[in-house]
A and B are shown apart, each in its own frame.
Chain A
Amino acid sequence: MTDAAFNFAYLDEQTKRMLRRAILKAVAVPGYQVPFASREMPMPYGWGTGGVQVTAACLVPEDVLKVIDQGADDTTNAVSIRKFFVKTAGVAVTEATADASIIQTRHRIPEHPLTEGQILVFQVPIPEPLRFLEPRETETRKMHELEEYGLMHVKLYEDIARHGAIATSYAYPVRVEGRYVMDPSPIPKFDNPKLDGNPALMLFGAGREQRIYALPPYTRAISLDFEDHPFRPTKADHACSLCGSATSYLDEVITDDRGGRMFVCSDTDFCRSRREAAE
């Protein structure tokens, strides 16, 4: 049942139109951050207001929605956002990646390969990949305009000089179609290869920072690296203790106070379906 006090998916149609325009522009210029008039949502900034607005603008009544946080469907914020759309849009929800038409995510890309026609909506805290190198928006916009990404390469080089490796493990920047450098949101760099040439539409929403950007299907998104220090996705060197997967991204769980720990899939749907298939 939809709560009759709200428009479908909470936002009024004018606002959704404004959002859709921004999304279309973002799709037309992959990796470019489109400013949009972000609205106050009934959840706090930092809780996924950008993702929620993008999802609200994309949803139609026939959609099947999946919401994950840290790869899991049952983390509190994923539950809260899913409930919000059940209440305001009345859409069907699922935990199965393959069954979802729209997936809103925080910090992960599902393990199950995405397909054409699916939309993956990322919640983005800081959309600007250059932000921690240059705090001023007026400056970073100019750097993107001029394709002036030298500072980023210097930062990566300094990492190698100091640590012998690039010391960025999440929110690892990518170059989109050889043009814009883009922050893929704080996904672990393990997930970065899934950005490249993915058949699904990937939309990124940053509510507080008022930016939307996109990777249309089959867009090239190359993680920044050097010839002699190629990009390497990493994960814990274990297999999942529950489903045995050796290829999925793992969460480390501390099991006692004597150093005991176990590793389990961060993607709960992936883990459960593997266990069910094994039975």
Chain B
Amino acid sequence: MYVAVKGGERAIDAAHAWLAEARRGDAAVPELTVAQIREQMTLAVNRVMTEGSLYDPDLAALAIKQARGDMIEAVFLLRAYRTTLPRLGASLPLDTAAMTVQRRISATFKDLPGGQVLGPTFDYTHRLLDFTLMAEGEAPRAPTAPIRDEPVPHVTTLLDQDGLIEATPPGEAEPGDLTRAPLELPADRALRLQALARGDEGFLLSMAYSTQRGYGRTHAFVGELRIGLVAVELFIPELGFSVEVGEVELSECETINQFMGSKTEPPQFTRGYGLAFGQNERKALSMSLVDRALRWQELGEDDVGAPAQDEEFVLSHADNVQATGFLEHIKLPHYVDFQAELELVRRLRREALPEAAE
């Protein structure tokens, strides 16, 4: 018997209530607080802030809690909130050379001004499950050392002094804004970098990895990876000077890539650039490799047909909120289109196999 699908509204409300209950899990287990997520799931918070394009650790932690740990869902929650915020102004360009570094490593020079600072990294840990964490042991205390009070210049700046790396003179052009204007291709580098910064970490990781395996190889060295706090300054026209309005934690990666030279340029190194909120090394590294791969045209390199060289392919598919929305929408009803296809297939079959006709 045909039952009309009335009651969609009640079904939705009940589903939402069930979701809320499932999110909380076993009520006998203490509820996670947003502060706990912010402090102890920091790398998740960083990823959500980066791909959500909003620097707010508390809201990112809230989004992770609400999304039950689904990172893309959390990114989406933060983005949807972000679009409702008014724009008060644009900050001055951040001065990452003046970063208070927590971590700063170079894979190209053994020692350099400012030194190598290992910082809090998984890099040399042995990946053995630490069962004392399960036993909820004491909070570990790290030893401390005095701060090296010296400037930490960018490695690429040092190379630039010898003309060994491409110059990047500061531009006057105001960078585009993907969130306020539709993406039109070809995009300039600033816009590409914005799209990559918002792009899915996993997607960029795979794209970057593909260049390392030969699909558009760019011979990347990590000239420098630095993580730390940078001041955000806003120019106030009424005051006539700029004011520090806060600071953000950033991961910045600059790769140094081989370049054999062209008709107009002598051989020199070239750059790839990656920037992410918080400690987010995989993202910053991946981004810098993809950025460099996308620059093949500007540098007069060959198009080897690699996916990571294809600007339209990379930029159109990097955004996980768009991707997951369109992918998951196929769960929505498609009765009408399927019915049209059913009629077509039945008719074509009737014409192809008259004897088998119903």
Contacts and interface: CB of A to CB of B under 8 A. Distances in A.
A9 to B, nearest CB: 13
A8 to B, nearest CB: 13
A262 B339 CA distance: 13
A44 B72 CA distance: 11
B200 to A, nearest CB: 14
B302 interface: no
B343 A41 contact: no
B161 interface: no
B160 interface: no
A119 B42 CA distance: 48
Interface of A is mostly: loop
A247 interface: no
Interface string A125-149: 1000000000011100000000000
A20 to B, nearest CB: 16
A188 B340 contact: yes
A236 interface: yes
B335 A251 contact: yes
Contacts of B181: 37
A151 B337 CA distance: 24
Nearest to A211: B182
Interface residues of A, number: 63
Nearest to A73: B8
B1 interface: yes
Interface in B326-358: 326-330, 332-337, 339-344, 347-348, 351
A83 to B, nearest CB: 7
B105 interface: no
A12 B326 contact: no
Contacts of A66: none
Contacts of B326: 45-46, 125, 208
A47 B332 contact: yes
Interface in B1-32: 1-2, 4-9, 11-12
A259 to B, nearest CB: 10
Interface of A: 6, 12, 35-42, 44-47, 49, 69-72, 74-80, 83, 106-108, 125, 136-138, 163-165, 167, 169-171, 186-190, 208, 210, 234-236, 241-242, 249-253, 255, 262, 264, 266, 268
Interface of B: 1-2, 4-9, 11-12, 76, 79-80, 82-84, 86, 179-186, 312, 316, 321-322, 324-330, 332-337, 339-344, 347-348, 351
